[in-house]
A and B are shown apart, each in its own frame.
Chain A
Amino acid sequence: MGESERPGITRRSAVVGAGAAAVVLGLGGFRFLPTEPTLRPPGGQATDQVVSACIRCEKCYEICPREVIVPSHIEAGILNMRTPTLDFSGDYCDWCGEANNGDPLCDKVCPTLALRLPEGASAKNTIIGVAELYTTWCLAYKLIGCRFCYDACPYEAMELDGNNRPYVLNDRCNGCGACESVCVSLQSGSIAEGADERAIIVRPLRQDGSVLYRWKPS
């Protein structure tokens, strides 16, 4: 009755094991489901990088000094679930300018390089997304005279037209979310009717570099 009698593997184990391994392999098939382009913290913009490397450790959400990193939900796709995305309802991403001299902390703590900026990338030459203003819901376009977003933009990416209505200069916008974080459109009942989002929203880039529009801009 020595150690040598320990069986290598029992038949039952082999069958159960093969089945379980097949399930794990099958889960890999989720890769082929379509996933929505998602807004990512700085350094997560490269195609598929976050999905390929992120172990859903939740470290980046925690470290963000402005608390704009939140877990993606299942609604954004099974593969995206629990990976980092940005929520600008309360604050915006300043590339950690205030907290870490412009060196994104989320990239610094990510242990897997799922978030990783290319060499020399900075807020000046890299964008997170692009802001889109929906004139249907923007108070200024109802001539109410709102310009919170214009005043908030740290990149001078917004201008006012002849009627003092703000619009976005796409090529200067960083996607930082400052405009979205201050937009008050949802708080004004009658105009916001039917709106489920603020009148200015940062959208992720498509993989071909163009902006993902939810509605066709007029």
Chain B
Amino acid sequence: MRIASLRVLVALAVIALITIGFVTNIGIGTLSSFGWSDISILCPLGALTTMLGAKILVPRALIALVIVVILIVLVGRAFCSWVCPVPLLQKLRAVFRKDSKLTTPDEESTVGTGDTDTTATCRSAASLKTQSTAPPRVAGKAEKASLCHSNGDASNCSSCAQKRGTLDPRHFVLGGSLLSAALFGFPVFCLICPIGLSFAAILLVVRLFSEGDLTWSIVIVLLLLTVEVLIFRKWCSQICPLSAFMSLLAKVNRTFRPAINKATCLETAKGIDCGLCAKACPEDIDPRHPKRSYAPMSECTKCLECAKACPTKALRLPFLPGSRANGAGSDDSGGLGGSGGPNTSEQERAA
């Protein structure tokens, strides 16, 4: 099964479970407080803002917060690719776009002209491994293309130095949400959280059909969701405060990180500029070269696309870094920098 379909299935299963909760009295809750009866894991942002808003310490919220922090340290942003309903809804956007793009020229060709030899190297690597393991996704962003090239001139390299900042708008939204809750005395972000709204939409539709409960809320909820998910294309990487919270904590995540076996990786074993793992990553991480990756490793959602894309299966996401089977991790601390690995040689070439 394709890993992407597996992720969709898991997220759908979560939605199904929660919908079952709506029509029974078990008290499963939604992702805002997921659990069984009075045991729930709270959304960390909800836990923080409710305490800031109501100005009381809630023991259950504190316990949930600790559990969530531990989970994030263990699995980073895995929630984003495996559980959250928002990426599922964003898939609808692709459906709409496919229809409307039929007449316009293919995006891929425009990228190709921008950085021809880069894409060429990437393509050659792809074709080298016969079946085109290269995912069919469009390399729409310039950064993405620049990830692939390694022997460009200095000007090209300055473009590949364009990296995602340590802080970005998400962190402002996170700060704004906390401040707003404290100032105005209620969990403000909950009003517009697309995760909460997704489940509100399901509940309202269930109620509409089971109880004939007709309300403007349905329209408002669907409208907000449409704006956030379908129109704001970069909700997840630029706005979502949960994503900000998780990526901040994920900086200390060491488990389930992409690790590369140097003995089989095409780049180290055969000296080929492969870069397929970087190309596959939806978060614009270069697992092969974390140091010059556009996005830091803390953005990794453990989606497994990179592992899937690796033509020689050299890339895995082991529980612990540097586990013996892998030879060498691709970690920033790994052997790449020191022992004349590809990173060093590139740096020399670039200099």
A residues near B (Cβ < 8 Å) are 1-3, 5-10, 13-14, 16-18, 20-25, 27-31, 48-49, 51-59, 61-65, 67, 70-71, 73-75, 78-79, 81-82, 105, 108-109, 111-114
Residue of B nearest to A32 (CB): B184
Instruction: Given contact pairs A9-B166, A30-B191, A55-B49, enumerate 20 new A-B contacts (beta carbons under 8 Å).
Output: A3-B332, A10-B168, A17-B172, A24-B189, A25-B180, A25-B183, A27-B180, A27-B192, A28-B180, A29-B184, A55-B42, A55-B190, A57-B32, A58-B200, A59-B33, A70-B213, A74-B217, A105-B27, A111-B42, A113-B56
Please, how many angstroms separate the alpha-carbon atoms of A57 and B190 in the complex? 9
Please, how many angstroms separate the alpha-carbon atoms of A207 and B175 in the complex? 33
The reply to whether B161 and A5 form a contact with Cβ atoms under 8 Å apart is: yes
Residue of B nearest to A15 (CB): B169
The reply to whether B40 and A111 form a contact with Cβ atoms under 8 Å apart is: yes
A-side contacts of B216, CB under 8 Å: 73-75
**B310 contacts partner chain A, Cβ-Cβ < 8 Å:** no
Give me the 3 closest cross-chain CB pairs, A-B, nearest first: A17-B172, A21-B176, A28-B184
Q: Give the dominant DSSP class at B's interface.
A: helix
- Closest chain-B Cβ to A80's Cβ sits at a distance in Å of 10
The reply to whether A52 and B53 form a contact with Cβ atoms under 8 Å apart is: yes
The reply to whether B215 and A74 form a contact with Cβ atoms under 8 Å apart is: yes
The reply to whether A112 and B166 form a contact with Cβ atoms under 8 Å apart is: no
Knowing A56-B200, A74-B220, A81-B220 touch, does A28 contact B183 (C-beta < 8 A)? yes
Knowing A6-B163, A73-B216 touch, does A20 contact B172 (C-beta < 8 A)? yes
**B287 contacts partner chain A, Cβ-Cβ < 8 Å:** no
From residue 1 to 58 of chain B, which have CB atoms closer than 8 A to chain A? 21-22, 24-30, 32-33, 37-38, 40, 42-43, 46-47, 49-50, 53-56, 58
**B185 contacts partner chain A, Cβ-Cβ < 8 Å:** yes
The reply to whether A13 and B176 form a contact with Cβ atoms under 8 Å apart is: no
**B165 contacts partner chain A, Cβ-Cβ < 8 Å:** yes
B-side contacts of A21, CB under 8 Å: 172-173, 175-176, 179
The reply to whether B176 and A22 form a contact with Cβ atoms under 8 Å apart is: yes
Knowing A13-B167, A74-B215 touch, does A55 contact B173 (C-beta < 8 A)? no
Please, how many angstroms separate the alpha-carbon atoms of A58 and B190 in the complex? 12
Please, how many angstroms separate the alpha-carbon atoms of A64 and B22 in the complex? 11
The reply to whether A111 and B27 form a contact with Cβ atoms under 8 Å apart is: no
- Closest chain-A Cβ to B244's Cβ sits at a distance in Å of 10
Knowing A6-B163, A78-B191 touch, does A58 contact B180 (C-beta < 8 A)? no
Set A9, A51, A56, A113: member contacting B168, Cβ < 8 A: A9
A-side contacts of B188, CB under 8 Å: 24-25, 27-28
Please, how many angstroms separate the alpha-carbon atoms of A50 and B172 in the complex? 27
Residue of A nearest to B23 (CB): A62
- Closest chain-B Cβ to A101's Cβ sits at a distance in Å of 15
A-side contacts of B171, CB under 8 Å: 17
The reply to whether B347 and A111 form a contact with Cβ atoms under 8 Å apart is: no
